[in-house]
Amino acid sequence: MAITRVWIEEGCVSCGTSEKFCPGVFKLKWVEHDSAVVREGVDYSLYEEKIMEAAKNCPVGVIKYEEV
């Protein structure tokens, strides 16, 4: 399985979990959104384990990914 899409649903509480587990994919945007965002142009295959770990540890369950 390969991760082909990553996103953060509405409800992010800006706790820093996503960026802590996978800073290559996630970034906190305090000013613009007060939430985390997914960086553009990232090769998810380099970060699959870290993406899954971030999603698993998200306290509000808003980190999502799609596998094929």
pLDDT averaged over 10-residue windows placed end to end, the chain, 68 residues: 94 93 91 79 97 98 97
CATH number at residue 12: 3.30.70.20
Question: Structure pTM?
Answer: 0.90
- Tally of residues, the chain: 68
- Structure confidence at residue 21 (pLDDT): 97
Q: Could you give the CA distance from residue 28 to residue 3 in angstroms, rounded to a whole number?
A: 21
**Domain assignment of residue 43, given as a range:** 3-67
* In the block, residue with structure tokens 């996630």: 26
Element holding 56 (H helix, E strand): helix 48-57
- Structure confidence at residue 2 (pLDDT): 96
Task: Give the number of domains in the chain.
Answer: 1
Structure tokens at 35: 């939430």
- Structure confidence at residue 38 (pLDDT): 95
SS3 assignment, position 28 = strand
CB-based burial of residue 5 (10 Å sphere; 0-12 exposed, 13-18 middle, 19+ buried)? exposed
